[in-house]
Amino acid sequence: MKVELYEATDQNPNLKDYDEAVKNHDWQEVEKHFSWYETGKYNMAYECIDKHVDDGRGDKVALHYKNGDQKLSYTFEDMKKASNKAANVLKDEAGVEKGDRVFIFMARSPELYFSLLGALKIGAIVGPLFEAFMEKAVRDRLENSDAKVIITTPELLPRIPVDDLPNLEKVVVVGDGSDDKYIDFDKSFEQASDEFEIEWLDKEDGLILHYTSGSTGQPKGVLHVQHAMVQHYISGKYVLDLKEDDIYWCTADPGWVTGTSYGIFAPWLNGATNVVVGGRFSPESWYGAIQDLNITIWYSAPTAFRMLMGAGDEIVNDYDLSSLRHVLSVGEPLNPEVVKWGMKVFNLRIHDTWWMTETGAHMIVNMPAMDIKGGSMGKPLPGVEAAIIDDEGNELPANRMGNLAMKRGWPAMMRKIWKNDAKYDSYFIGDWYVSGDSAYKDEDGYYWFQGRVDDVIMTAGERVGPFEIESKLVEHPAVQEAGVIGKPDPVRGEIVKAFIALREGNEPTDELKEEIRKYVKEGLAAHAAPREIEFKDKLPKTRSGKIMRRVLKAWELDLPTGDLSSMDDD
Ligand code: PRX
């Protein structure tokens, strides 16, 4: 296959010479940017917001929030005051203290950002939850983390099993004060002081807890610490190429790591104007947002680009997108034809970036000063040492496929899996962090994604664990056994497909498929509901009773099933 090369044309990127930057990189130098360097302490919320006010940029717009026709804008000064007020509410009324887990469960709104920053000012660890989560997903996360406080909205409140969570002390509701069992955010916010004494923190103090899925077991609580800001800042500068007059839009929800690391921290650490767009995706609302807000940098995902591509090129002509100067992608493989389409309709290169919830920040990237090879994830961020290794931890030569791995020690690296040290340790072979992705590196040092090593499903850029869905499926009274796989899909990358063996006495009808789908959608989350269900008399299992997903996948793709020696076939 011929690789398309897209040469770097940007005349003035923040990072001008990749090879030099790799050679000279020193994390200690980057730390000089932060108050920590002088005082030995810092706080993410201060560095994101208050610092810009202290540096005389308080009048600059920090946040544009757009939802349909509604548009709200806040300066850094406004954000400082609003996050101080939220901090006072959380501290005085909800009793939040340093280190407490505070969850935020709401659709994107200015209050989400005020309260997230407010919780950080107290030194709490924030757990953002995606608004599509249903009761089980919410319960698992609050329970595992012993969450003390949750901030939510009236619509989502019924999904929080408040009375079943003994450690959950307070519920803060934004937008409705009708029940005095809960703290009325709006009322308390109105009355709260806009001054707050920030809690100064150490490098290793907690910052954020993102739950993410693996192939086995319940979702894992990935803990990041304050020190991550060093990498958020420098990747924001080098990769997002943020400059002070940029208007930057990351399309991800803060329920996912992209929506915090690059939807909150990186842009504000760099003092850029950050854009948040609420509501649902449509080509009109997205192109409209770029046009109306004069967005200059846009960070999104392959599924979204493919949907825009599917909407046709003519619609692009209805909008003035000339403000755009830099476009990036994350979450799944960025197809070469999407990069080609980006050149055609925006006359811009789409820069792929590779990283994970666990890595906390960019690891393998394409930057403005680099040539892009269509279909490649790029090269390691300066300061990150990557390699392709075999299962024993030996580095493999160029063009050999193996485990994509990084040498431990980058600042944004997760520091623990909440209450699961064994899981944390299982990520490492010696000093190598093993990503779970397979890839190869070419002779020029570019990395090429090949697939997941495990059964994790990437659907529309979201990572879903088959186990969590299988567990939900078998709770349905008609389901005996369930095996879940990712089935390749031209738009979403993969879709969730479930193979189900029914309990005696149930008919395999289309109505039942629909009912089961709905059951997962309402019990877990919409994106976890199988788009396809296939009934089978029996599922392939190992002798120890584990469903063999690789056999299901081989059935699906009409591939040889491979070694079946461990299969139980009676
Ligand atoms: O398989 C890789 C895929 O997404 C996984 C990480 O998922 P998550 O923790 O949800 O984080 C997504 C956004 C940071 C990876 O193990 N992935 C992420 N970026 C890429 C990718 N696959 C191919 N190309 C990418 N650029």
Question: Of all atoms in ligand 1, which is nearest to the CA of residue 358?
Answer: 9
Whether residue 458 has its Cβ less than 6 Å from ligand 1: yes
- Give the model's pLDDT for residue 451: 85
Whether residue 212 has its Cβ less than 6 Å from ligand 1: yes
Within 13 Å and on the Cβ side, how many CA atoms surround 357? 25
Q: CATH number of the domain that 552 lies in? A: 3.30.300.30
Whether residue 331 has its Cβ less than 6 Å from ligand 1: yes
**276's tokens:** 């948040």
Whether residue 449 has its Cβ less than 6 Å from ligand 1: yes
Distance (Å, whole) CA 496 – CA 469: 9
Distance (Å, whole) CA 350 – CA 24: 27
Distance (Å, whole) CA 293 – CA 321: 10
Q: CATH number of the domain that 187 lies in? A: 3.40.50.980
Cα–ligand 1 centroid distance for 300 (angstroms): 13
Q: Which amino acid is at 345?
A: V
Whether 41 maps to a domain, the answer reads no
Last-in-domain residue among 170, 197, 225 = 225
Whether residue 367 has its Cβ less than 6 Å from ligand 1: no
- Give the model's pLDDT for residue 569: 54
Whether 244 maps to a domain, the answer reads no
Whether 401 maps to a domain, the answer reads no
Give the residue whose CA is nearest to atom 22 of ligand 1.
332
Last-in-domain residue among 208, 225, 242 = 225
Cα–ligand 1 centroid distance for 223 (angstroms): 17
In angstroms, how far apart are the furthest CA atoms of the chain? 74
- Give the model's pLDDT for residue 567: 64
Mutate-to-test residue for ligand 1 from 354, 372, 454, 464, highest number of ligand atoms within 8 A of CB: 354
Q: Which amino acid is at 246?
A: D
Domain carrying residue 500: 464-557
Cα–ligand 1 centroid distance for 447 (angstroms): 13
Cα–ligand 1 centroid distance for 380 (angstroms): 15
**148's tokens:** 């003390």
Whether residue 261 has its Cβ less than 6 Å from ligand 1: no
- Give the model's pLDDT for residue 40: 87
Contacts of 341 (CB under 8 A, 6+ apart): 305, 309, 313
- Give the model's pLDDT for residue 566: 58
Complex ipTM tops 0.90 = yes
Cα–ligand 1 centroid distance for 132 (angstroms): 20
Q: Which amino acid is at 375?
A: G
Whether 61 maps to a domain, the answer reads no
Q: What is the pLDDT along the chain (570 residues), one digit of tens a residue?
A: 688 999 998 889 999 999 999 999 999 999 999 988 888 899 999 999 999 999 999 999 999 999 999 999 999 999 999 999 999 999 999 999 999 999 999 999 999 999 999 999 999 999 999 999 999 999 999 999 999 999 999 999 999 999 999 999 999 999 987 788 999 999 999 999 999 999 999 999 999 999 998 777 788 999 999 999 999 999 999 999 999 899 999 999 999 999 999 999 999 999 999 999 999 899 999 999 999 999 999 999 999 999 999 999 999 999 999 999 999 999 998 989 999 999 999 999 999 999 999 999 999 999 999 999 999 999 999 999 999 999 999 999 999 989 999 999 999 999 999 999 999 999 999 999 999 999 999 999 999 998 888 888 989 888 888 888 998 998 999 999 899 999 999 999 999 999 999 999 999 999 999 999 999 999 999 999 999 999 999 999 877 677 889 899 999 998 877 666 556 654
Give the residue whose CA is nearest to atom 10 of ligand 1.
463
Whether residue 258 has its Cβ less than 6 Å from ligand 1: yes
Whether 109 maps to a domain, the answer reads yes
Last-in-domain residue among 171, 194, 225 = 225
Cα–ligand 1 centroid distance for 466 (angstroms): 16
- Give the model's pLDDT for residue 434: 97
Cα–ligand 1 centroid distance for 353 (angstroms): 9
Question: Of all atoms in ligand 1, which is nearest to the CA of residue 353?
Answer: 26
Of 209, 46, 71, 78, residue with least CA distance to 140: 209
Report how many domains make up the chain: 2
Whether 196 maps to a domain, the answer reads yes
Whether 490 maps to a domain, the answer reads yes
Question: Of all atoms in ligand 1, which is nearest to the CA of residue 452?
Answer: 1
Give the residue whose CA is nearest to atom 24 of ligand 1.
333
Whether 136 maps to a domain, the answer reads yes
Using CA atoms of 31, 32, 33, 37 in order, give the dihedral in degrees to the nearest 10: 80
Question: What pTM, to 2 d.p., does this model score?
Answer: 0.92
